[in-house]
Amino acid sequence: MKAEPSDSKNHIGLVLSGGGIRGVAHIGVIRALEEAGIFPDMIAGTSAGALVGALYAAGKSWQEMLTFFKEASIFRISNFAHGKPGLINSDKFYELYRSQFMEDSFEHLKKPLFIATCDLMKGREKLFSKGPLIKALLASAALPGVFSPIEINGALYADGGILNNFPVEPLLPLCSTIWGVYVNPIEELIPEDLDSTRQVVERAFHLTTRYPSLRKLKSCTHIICPAGLSAYATFSINAEQEIFELGYREAIKSLAISLAGAVQHT
């Protein structure tokens, strides 16, 4: 059973941003953190960050998480939505996600977890931390126009990144140390980089979510923003190993700087 958050702020929090396939970099960061003796005990995430966070909160090793992302194909013809407002039917991923957890329940995770979603009916953010887990995960990653929305208790939910791509807020009153991982770098482009509707839409979405997220990075004790991830699109295919290794390498560099700074201030 999951330990309930205590009133003490003596916790280590981990915030994982959304970012599509770039979210695999979170797994590399987790590996680096653990090798440095840092084991977050509370997690908050959006979209791909929510999925990595849930797997980690369930006790999965970095090896198990990486294998899952490599084997979980999302663009199969049978998953295309029919009669739903999205290209891919999110509901059909339920069993795939469900296979990774002993119970479909936040309460059966080993660490407290907060998942950010967008309530399309009320037009506001909704954080899930109790009750059924899988639908909250599916909702958090349901990018409008790509994945169909998820129905939960009569309401429709979509990608948490629409309103909060870096959900640090629930950890602030609970954690004395917060590690934030942001996997959506924005680099200057040339016109040839935006030669399709998908690329333009993806760029616009990243710009919309970037600046609110950057303001919130200041709330974290330590920040890891792996450089080089802009080379990968949200749905880059067969790039999991490269992205994992990039996240791992960049996290090691960031950890060296962060921990050296901490020593200097002791």
Which residue out of 159, 213, 254, 258 is catalytically annotated? 159
Which residue out of 47, 148, 254, 258 is catalytically annotated? 47
State yes or no: is 196 an active-site residue.
Answer: no
Please enumerate, as own/partner, the contacts of 79-83 that have beta carbons within 8 Å and a separation of 24 or more.
Answer: 81/147, 81/148
Task: Give CA 237 to chain center in angstroms.
Answer: 18
State yes or no: is 213 an active-site residue.
Answer: no
The length of the chain in residues reads: 266
What's phi and psi for 173, nearest 5 deg? -80, -5
What's phi and psi for 116, nearest 5 deg? -90, 135
Cα-based distances in Å from 130 to 9, 89, 107, 115, 154: 20, 24, 6, 10, 17
Task: Give catalytic residue positions.
Answer: 47, 159
